[in-house]
Amino acid sequence: MASANIYHLKHVDYSERGQTVEIIVDGVPKRQTVIFSGTDYFGEKYYFTEEGLRYIQDSRHRRPQQSLVLNYLIKIPIILKSPQVIARNVRYPDRHLFCDKVSIKERGNKKSLLGVVLSKANINVVWNFYWLEENKLPELFEIIYKSKNFKKR
């Protein structure tokens, strides 16, 4: 599986690999094991963790049409650093969705909008990763940044 490549990416920091960080989720502290850290579009540090990777893998396997994104996990740092659009979840304001259009081989190299959910609680942690069907942002997200190249459809 292509996800093994996430352990050998350029432009991310593996110096904290194996260490644990604590994120507060709905008021509950949860331990996360660091794979790597990086810097997002805003210049803020984020972590990609073993637990986050497992959650992404599990949630994509529960939705077979979404499983193709597992081949594109290596795009997560690129999307977080240079997104075409960033939106904030209205219901959960600490959840931000960083999106970029990526050429998807499994879809005939059609450009598809991939989204990285970053939980911006006490620390920033990659929360989820998925393909936005029909290249549309979910209804509960408000755009807080978009590049001039971004078109809603």
Q: Does residue 14 form part of some domain?
A: yes
- Per-residue model confidence as pLDDT tens digits over 26-59: 788 999 999 999 999 999 999 999 999 999 999 9
Question: In the predicted model, is pLDDT for residue 3 greater than 70?
Answer: no
* Confidence at residue 152, expressed as pLDDT on a 0 to 100 scale: 57
E-strand ranges in the chain read 20-25, 28-39, 45-49, 85-89, 95-104, 110-120, 124-131, 141-146
Q: Does residue 149 form part of some domain?
A: no
Q: How many domains does the chain have?
A: 1
- Please give the residue range of the domain that contains residue 54: 2-139
Question: In the predicted model, is pLDDT for residue 2 greater than 50?
Answer: no
Q: Does residue 29 form part of some domain?
A: yes
pTM: 0.91
Q: Does residue 144 form part of some domain?
A: no
The answer to whether the beta carbons of residues 76 and 126 sit under 8 Å apart is yes
Q: Does residue 101 form part of some domain?
A: yes
Instruction: Give the residue, 78 or 65, on which the prediction is more confident.
Output: 78
